Structure 1
Amino acid sequence: MTHRNRRPRGTLTGRLVGALQDWSVPRQLRGAPGHAKAAESAMSRGLRPRLEQADRVGTSICPYCAVGCAQLIYARDGKPIAVEGDPRSPVNQGTLCPKGAATFGLMVSPGRLDRCLHRAPGATAWREVPLDWAMERIAQLAKRSRDESFVSRLPDGTRVNHTLAMASMGGATLDNEENYLIKKLFSAGLGMVFVENQARV
């Protein structure tokens, strides 16, 4: 029976015997001393915390809603390697919701846009444009649409001062102050009726 345990690990039987010997459940059932040691495996003994690789830790605020959960950004060689909740914060006390916990993916995703793209009417391809040009273009088109569709009074004389040609869909990364300003600008300033937020969808 002893010779079976000496079979080369490269064979199927050898790998099976090795896996059974490394399996922690039999050791725990036998009552092996030390709970942590009894539950160890060859793989778990070699594991190291990913945060151990960081050479710098910065602080940030979660970008996803207006709660303002504090985050710790762990970086190595100037690049983020992990995002955790900040336990010093009285707001979230080190915890993060699923969206906040996904902040790392948002930061390093190769699909994340970090520049302005514009597709002209009738064009089939996007082109990169400067931010200043894009903001000016948006302002001009918004004013033109508002001026062309603005209604001061209904046929019965009721004053409405609104436009039905424009709408706003806010995102869940906007905080309370930004949403307040958006509502004031779009409703009171431009007369937009349709002002909604993605967080309600």
Structure 2
Amino acid sequence: MTVNRRTPGKRLRSFLRDWSLPRQMRGESHKGAAARSSASEQLRPRLEEADKVGTSICPYCAVGCAQLFYAKEGQLIHVEGDPRSPINQGTLCPKGAATFSLISNPDRLTKVKYRRPHGTEWEEVPLDWAMDRIAHLTKKTRDETFVETLPDGTQVNHTLSVASLGGATLDNEENYLIKKVFSGGLGMVWIENQARV
């Protein structure tokens, strides 16, 4: 087994040769070779390995910051702001910058969980079953509580038993459709959006 035993003098000379500050003090430009070191020469951009780049919108608030998603072999490796966006111009707030953790967290729920009435345990159910159940219960509640006219004869055609709270990342077109379907189609009165920035 060979042990690399450099003398303190050799280590100091190597350090002074490799460290940028002494070279800058000797007059080398901090923008050129003086800024490089043997360690920095070996560094590679982490995004260089990406084989696919996609775009998305940050899921956290109503600002709608654009994001770039970098993937390698189908696995997300990085998320950053999209500099082409007129909204965020490549920047992200701390929540948006943490989107990578949101997506890649091993504790993130990826299956639909359902707890039956009076149940104590959560069970996994298919997404189609959950969507059908939500639609069935919404229609059932709406039909049971729908009011066509008030006692004085005023026509209202509404239900006060179902409400909608929209997400912050819904765009204008989605909110328009929600309002039309929920208000006009189902007669819902309580329609709100939690976009508060």
Instruction: Tell me, yes or no, whether TM beats 0.5.
Output: yes
**SS across alignment from 1:200:** coil
Q: Which amino acid aligns with 2:183?
A: S
Q: Give the CA deviation at 1:59.
A: 2.2
Partner of 2:145: 149
| Residues paired across the two proteins, number | 187
1:62 and 2:54 aligned: no
Query: Partners of 2:40 and 2:160 in 1: how far apart?
Result: 61
Q: Quote how far apart the aligned CAs of 1:50 are.
A: 1.3
How many Å separate the matches in 1 of 2:152 and 2:185? 24
The secondary structure found in structure 2 opposite 1:106 is helix
Looking at structure 2, the residues matched to 20 and 198 of structure 1 have their Cα atoms a distance apart, in angstroms, of 57
* CA shift for structure 1 position 79: 0.7
1:109-128 aligned within 5 A:
109-128=105-124
Higher RCO, Cα 8 Å, sep 6+: 2
Q: Distance in 2 between matches of 1:141 and 1:183?
A: 19
The separation in 2 between residues aligned to 1:111 and 1:58, in whole angstroms, is 25
Question: 2:90 maps to what in 1?
Answer: 95
Q: Return 5+ residue gaps in structure 1 as ranges.
A: none
Deviation string 1:48-88 (CA, Å, 9 cap, x unpaired) is 3211232x12222225358473x43222222110123444x
Query: Structure 1, residues 111-144: CA drift from partner, whole Å, max 9, x if none?
Result: 3322221110111111111122111111111111
Following the alignment from structure 1 to structure 2, what is the Cα–Cα distance between the partners of residues 123 and 21?
A: 69
Measure the CA separation in 1 of the matches of 2:65 and 2:20.
42
Relative distance call for 1:25 and 1:58 in structure 2 (3 A) is closer
TM-score w.r.t. structure 2 length? 0.73
What is the TM-score normalised by the length of structure 1? 0.72
1:173 partnered with 2:148: no
Q: 1:165 Cα deviation (Å)?
A: 1.4
> Which has the higher mean CA deviation after the structures are superposed, 144-153 or 103-112?
103-112
Q: Render the CA deviation track for 1:135-177: whole Å, top value 9, x for unaligned.
A: 1111111111112222222233322222221111111232222
Aligned to 2:74: 78
Change (3 A) 1:151 1:200: farther
Give me the whole-angstrom Cα distance separating, in 2, the residues matched to 1:200 and 1:85.
21
The letter of the residue matching 1:84 is: E
Report the counterpart of residue 158 of structure 2 in structure 1: 162
Instruction: Give ranges in structure 2 of 5+ residues lacking alignment.
Output: 1-6
